[in-house]
Chain A
Amino acid sequence: MAARVGIPCSLLYFLYYPTWKTFFNELGAQVIPSGNTTREMLDLGVKEALADACVPIKLYFGHVQVLIGRVDYLFIPRVVCLNRETTYCPKFLGLPDMIRHSFKKIPPLIDVRIDVREGWNALSKAYRQAGLVLGAARGAIALAYRKAMAVERRFFSLLQEGWQPLEAMQILNTAILPRKQKGRLVFAVLGYPYLVHDQYISVGLLGRLKKMGVEVITMENLPPRALYRQNDHLEKRLFWTLGDLVLRAAHYFLRHTRIDGMIHLTAFGCGPDSLVGKFLEMAAHEQQTVPFMSLSIDEHSGEAGIATRLEAFVDMVCRKKEVCL
C-alpha cells in the first residue's frame, strides 16, 4: 500500500502545495491534504496551541490535529530561506519542533530543513532527504524533483497571469481557465498568503470584494523580479521573506500601478506585522493618493464586523472617485 503523506492546508500550503503534491505523488505516495479550514479545525487549534501564538499558527495546529490518525507521515518542512537573503518568521523556523513537542501521539514528521544559503543544490538535497524518508530510490527522487519544479514554474506563472493561488491550483487540476471578471474598482490586498487566501480565516474577504464589484490583485500576482528591485525606503532590509514581500509589494502598487484602494490584512499579535504594518501605514501616508485600510483578524473575527468595514471602505473609495453606482 502506498504511504500516505499528510499536508496541513495552511501557512506555505498556498504557495507550494502543487510542488509538494507532485513530488510525493511521483514517488508513489498518496498525498492527503487536511482540506479547507473549518470552525472545528480552528477550535481544535485554539485548544491545542499556546494562547499567545498568532491565529495562523493556532490554525496550523488544528490542521495537523485533523490529519493525525489518518496518515503515515506528516510533511512539515522547516523552511528557513528560499531566496538567499531573508528568512521566514521564527515561528516557521520552529514549526516542526512546536508540533512534535505539543502532540502526544503523532505520526513521523518529514521535517526537512530548507535553506538555500547552504549551497546551490540545497533545495534538491532537501527534497532528496524527504524522498529518502519514504524509502524511494535516488533516481526516482531526482525525476520527481524535476517534475515538481516544472509544476512550480507553471503554478507561479499562473499567479502572475492574475489568478489567485486557489484558482491557480484548480486550473492546474482541471486545465480549464475560468472567465475573468472585470470590476469597477481595483484593490490591492496585502497580507500573508495564509491569511488572504484562507477563506475561513479571512472571513471570505476576497469573495466579498468580488461581490461588491472589486477586482483584487495580491502580491502573488506581481513578478518576483520587479518586487526584488522595488525600493522599500528602509535603511535595513526586513528579515522576514513574507513581510519583506508585503512591504515591497505595497511600494510597487503605490508607485507603478493604478489601484483604487489598498487593504492590509493582518493577524492579531503577528510579530513581523507590528513593524510591517507601521511601515506600510507611513508609506501610505506619504503618498496620500491611495486610500488605505488595515484589517486585523483573529479567531473571534465575525462576519458582520468585517462586512461593515469593507462596505464602508468601498463606499468611501467610490465617493472619492465619484463613480458611485
Chain B
Amino acid sequence: MPRVTFPHVAESYRSFKMLMEDLGNEVILPPRPSKHTLDLGVRYAPEFACFPVKILLGTYLETCPKGVELIVTSGGVGPCRAGHYAQLHKKILHSLGYPVDIVVFEPPRLYPLDFLHNIQRLNPRRMSYRAIYECVRRAWRKLQALDNVEKLTHKVRPKETIRGATTRTYRRVLEWIDRAYSLVEIEEAERSALEELQKVPQDPNRDVLRVGIVGEVYVLLEPASNLEIEETLGNLGVEVERSLFLTGWTRDNTWAETTEGLTVKEAAMPYLPELLGGHGRDSIGNTVLYAKRGFDGVIQLAPFTCIPEIVARTILPRVSEEHNIPVLTFFLDEQTGKAGMTTRLEAFVDLMRRKKAARRPA
C-alpha cells in the first residue's frame, strides 16, 4: 500500500483520509501546523515565498520522515505562484533526500486526461471508475458536513453565554462526523452535530456585529495560519461570514463556475476587471457584496508578499470609501503574533460598534 499524505487544511483531513483509505492507500496524517512546522518550512523554503508554501513545506517535512511515498495536492493555472509550489516542494524535498513523488490535481476542465491519470495513481486497488465515484461522493458529502458545522459555529460563538462552550462542543461533534462512514451515517452525524451546536446556551438579545472575511484561500481556511482569527472575533461578539469554504473553492475549480462565483466577478468589475490569479479579484468583489448586504466590516487576510492580494489591497481603500464599509487587512507571516492581532481586532471591533451606534436613530 503506498503511503500518502496531503496538506493540512483545517478539518478537511477527516474527509481526505477516508477517501484515500477507501482507494487503498495508507494515510500518514498531516499534523496541525505548529511552531515547529513553520520553523522547518522557513528554514528550507525561499525567503520571499508566501506563508502557505512555508507551512506546506513544513508539513511535508514533518510527515516525510515517516516514510511518505506520495503527496497529494492541488495545482493552479496562474499567474498566482501557488500553481508552482508542488513542483518547487518536490525539488526541495528531493534535495533533502526524501524520495517522494507529488500528485498534483490541476483543474480537470482544462486537463481531463491528467486528472484521470492522477486518479489511477491513487488507486492501487484498481477499483472501477464507478466505485471511485461512490467513494468521492461520500468524501464530498463529509466535506460538506464539515463545512456546514463550521459555518454554524460562526453564528453561535458570538452569542454563547459560557466562554468557550461553542469551541468545546465543536471539537466533540467533529468526532461524530469523523466516525461516520456511509452516506446515511454522514447525514445523520451532520444533523445531530448541528442540533448539538444549537443547544449551546446562547443570549438571543446580544447585539452582534457582522464581519465578512475575504482573502487568500489557504490562510482563510487553515485556522493555524491565521491564528484562529474567527474564534477571536467570535469571542469579541462578532459573527463571521467567510467568503470561501473548501467545498465552494473545489466546485469553482473543478466543475463549472457557480453563480456565486459569477456574482462576485461582476461585483469586482468596476474596480478590477482582470483575473489576477489567486483571489485578488474575489477579495474586491466580496467586499462590495458584503457592503451591499449591510455588513459592519470586512477583514482581508493575505500572506505576506502575496501578489494578487497586494493589488487588491491597493484598490480596497477606494471600495471602502465608496461603499462606506471599514476594511482591515492582515498580511500574515511567521512573524505575526497573536497578541498584536488581537489588539488590532479589538480596535476594529470598537470602531465598527461606534459606527453602528452613530447610524442608529437615538
Q: Are B315 and A97 in contact (CB under 8 A)?
A: yes
Q: Are B274 and A274 in contact (CB under 8 A)?
A: no
* Residues of chain A with a CB closer than 8 A to B83's CB: 236, 239
The chain B residue with its CB closest to the CB of A240 is B79
Q: Are B87 and A234 in contact (CB under 8 A)?
A: yes
Quick one: CB contact mask for B47-75 with A, threshold 8 Å, 1 for yes? 11110000000000000000000000001
* Residues of chain A with a CB closer than 8 A to B95's CB: 282
Looking at A156-164, A213-221, A254-262, A265-273, the stretch in contact with chain B turns out to be: A265-273
Q: Does A206 contact B (CB under 8 A)?
A: no
Q: Are A282 and B307 in contact (CB under 8 A)?
A: no
Q: Does B31 contact A (CB under 8 A)?
A: no
The chain B residue with its CB closest to the CB of A273 is B48
Q: Are A98 and B311 in contact (CB under 8 A)?
A: yes
Interface residues on B, range: 35 or more
Quick one: CB contact mask for A80-100 with B, threshold 8 Å, 1 for yes? 100000011111011001100
Looking at B166-174, B197-205, B231-239, B276-284, the stretch in contact with chain A turns out to be: B276-284
Q: Are A94 and B48 in contact (CB under 8 A)?
A: no
CA distance A78 to B83 in the complex (A): 22
Question: A90 with B318: in contact, given A239-B81, A271-B305 (CB under 8 Å)?
Answer: no
Q: Does B272 contact A (CB under 8 A)?
A: yes
Q: Does A102 contact B (CB under 8 A)?
A: yes
The chain A residue with its CB closest to the CB of B318 is A101
Return the contact of A93 from the options B50, B276, B317 (Cβ within 8 A): B276
Q: Are A87 and B78 in contact (CB under 8 A)?
A: yes
* Residues of chain B with a CB closer than 8 A to A238's CB: 84
Q: Does A118 contact B (CB under 8 A)?
A: no
Interface residues on A, range: 35 or more
State the Cβ distance, B92 to closest chain A Cβ, in Å.
8
Q: Are B276 and A94 in contact (CB under 8 A)?
A: yes
- Residue among A102, A268, A273, A278 with most chain B CB within 10 A: A278
Q: Does A322 contact B (CB under 8 A)?
A: no
Q: Are A274 and B47 in contact (CB under 8 A)?
A: yes
Q: Are B307 and A80 in contact (CB under 8 A)?
A: no
Q: Are B79 and A278 in contact (CB under 8 A)?
A: no
Q: Does A113 contact B (CB under 8 A)?
A: yes
Q: Does B306 contact A (CB under 8 A)?
A: yes
CA distance A268 to B47 in the complex (A): 10
Question: A101 with B84: in contact, given A87-B79, A90-B280, A271-B48 (CB under 8 Å)?
Answer: no
Question: A272 with B81: in contact, given A97-B272, A277-B46 (CB under 8 Å)?
Answer: yes
Q: B residues touching A (Cβ–Cβ < 8 Å)? A: 46-50, 75, 77-81, 83-84, 87-88, 90-91, 95, 271-278, 280, 304-308, 310-315, 317-318, 331
Q: Which 9 A-B pairs have the closest CB atoms?
A: A239-B78, A94-B311, A274-B48, A101-B318, A90-B276, A271-B307, A278-B46, A239-B79, A90-B307
Q: A residues touching B (Cβ–Cβ < 8 Å)? A: 49-50, 52-53, 78, 80, 87-91, 93-94, 97-98, 101-102, 113, 234-236, 238-240, 268-275, 277-279, 282
Given contacts A273-B48, A279-B91, 19 further A-B contacts (CB under 8 A): A78-B274, A90-B308, A91-B311, A93-B274, A94-B272, A94-B311, A94-B312, A97-B273, A102-B317, A102-B318, A236-B84, A240-B78, A240-B79, A274-B46, A274-B81, A275-B84, A275-B88, A277-B48, A282-B95
| A-B contacts, 16 listed (Cβ < 8 Å) | A50-B310, A52-B313, A89-B307, A94-B315, A97-B273, A101-B314, A102-B314, A238-B84, A269-B48, A270-B48, A273-B48, A274-B47, A274-B50, A275-B84, A277-B46, A282-B91
